[in-house]
Amino acid sequence: MNNKKFITLGFTSVALTFSLLFASTLFAKEETKKESTQESRLEALSKFTKVLSIVEEYDVDEVTIEELINKALKGMMENLDAHSNYLTEKDYKRLQVQTNGEFGGLGITVGMKDGALTVISPIDDTPADKAGLKAGDIILKINDKPTLGMTIDEAVSLMRGKVGDPIDLTIVREGESKPIVVHIVRDIIKIESVHTKRVGDDILYIRVSSFDKKVVEDVKKAILKRKASIKGIILDLRNNPGGLLDQAVGLVDLFVDDGLVVSQKGRKEAETKEYKAHASNTITKVPLVVLVNGGSASASEIVSGALQDHKRAVLVGEKTFGKGSVQVVLPITKKEAIKLTIARYYLPSGRTIQAVGVTPDIKVLPGELKTFKNEFAIKEADLKQHLQSELEKIDGKKSKDKAEKKDKKDIITPKMLQKDVQLKEAVDIVKALIITKG
């Protein structure tokens, strides 16, 4: 027994010694790694300050340390990703003007795609929209200035200006053999994000052009106003460049009972968050079709992707833009700041949006539906002695006349559907869903 106890104690002692040696080795490696990292940082900072002093002393043009630091910060931020940048005092003020929601400009959202300044989407009823700019247009020149190597903020600064001042954009458009010059006159940009219309008596069409702070409230009001009569909804997110995350989550919550809407994941634990739907916020379960295209970005991709993952909606149109990253503005002085990408968005299924986008369930390219009238077709009404009085009873001529006098602003007509193939397809799908639902 004593021998067994001795052997057991011996093994325990060896195991303890080994554990201590292993822990000591790990600690030593960790300390070595920390020392190595610290040395690398010091070497990198030394290299940076050496270059600064050489440029300051020998550059052909006299530049101050402050100017060099600003240029270095700008270059560093721009090389991180397409959405991070350094905001000078002028840039920071411009950003604050933008968030006020009313400014003199063109009415387009732009982004960098494959290194080119690209129109994400024109905003409804703005000078850019009326001038015919389209999602996917690549801007080569702003007036006479080439956009090659230009940042988004620099481009936005050039496109903004006094109300009434003209501007020329030289663009490259898919399908066009040569660049197009688009003449636009700047105007006050006021964004009304939610517009509604009816398709027949039982389908509600909701157009959301951007995600401002009132989107959920306005969509909720529109649905509740017609809740008794609507049997299906079409949510149009085409050319919607995004906006506020809470509004995107809230919009999905109107249609989905529970579950994950979107998650964001960053390096820091504080930037890893989940946003979920709640049954108490759901207001309708009628069939839903969502329209998307290449101008649908960011928040609109979160909405469409989440509704697709929850199998709550049928997505119709084209693949979305693919912006699924989170930016924050972090002040570094009282007058300057940096805009930094801190996380990426992930849909309920775990898939990413960034540089991938959301693929619709049914792909439909934009265009106009061509129809041909058969001039030789003969119907009952064309016969000499057709039942005119019976037709009047059925059609209700008087009521028809009254209907024609009504304001048609909130109605999508068959003629409007013929001019928008994607919308017509959405209407046909939602009608089929209504029938199958019973």
Closest C-alpha to 165, from 191, 141, 184, 137: 184
- Which residue is it, tokens 């688009």? 182
Closest C-alpha to 253, from 287, 227, 277, 234: 277
- Rounded to a whole number, what is the distance in angstroms from the first to the last CA of the chain? 82
CATH number of the structural domain spanning residue 237: 3.90.226.10
Residues 109 and 220 in one domain: no
Closest C-alpha to 428, from 316, 273, 264, 271: 316
Show which residues are catalytic: 298, 309, 323
Give the Cα separation of 295 and 301 in Å (integer).
10
CB-facing half-sphere around the CA of 181: CA atoms within 13 A? 6
- Which residue is it, tokens 């009608």? 431
Tokens of 259: 């579950």
Give the Cα separation of 179 and 177 in Å (integer).
7
Residues 215 and 316 in one domain: yes
Residues 333 and 201 in one domain: yes
Residues 339 and 209 in one domain: yes
Tokens of 356: 């991938």
- Burial degree of 33 (CB within 10 A; 0-12, 13-18, 19+): exposed
Give the Cα separation of 273 and 346 in Å (integer).
10
- Burial degree of 238 (CB within 10 A; 0-12, 13-18, 19+): buried
Q: Select from 342, 363, 384 the last residue of a domain.
A: 363
Q: For 104, phi and psi rounded to 5 degrees?
A: -85, 120
pTM of the predicted model, to two decimals? 0.73
Q: Select from 170, 190, 210 the last residue of a domain.
A: 190
Q: Select from 301, 331, 363 the last residue of a domain.
A: 363
Give residue 172's domain range: 102-190
Q: What is the pLDDT along the chain (438 residues), one digit of tens a residue?
A: 555 554 454 545 555 555 555 566 666 667 777 777 888 889 999 999 999 999 999 999 999 999 999 999 999 998 998 889 999 888 887 776 655 555 678 988 888 888 899 998 888 888 999 999 998 999 999 999 999 888 887 898 889 888 899 999 999 999 899 999 999 999 987 778 899 999 999 999 999 998 988 999 999 999 999 999 999 999 999 999 898 899 999 999 999 999 999 999 998 888 899 999 999 999 999 999 999 999 999 999 999 999 999 999 999 999 999 999 988 889 999 899 999 999 999 999 999 999 899 999 999 999 888 776 666 666 665 655 555 555 555 555 554 444 444 456 689 999 889 989 999 999 999 999 999 986
Residue 11 lies in a domain: no
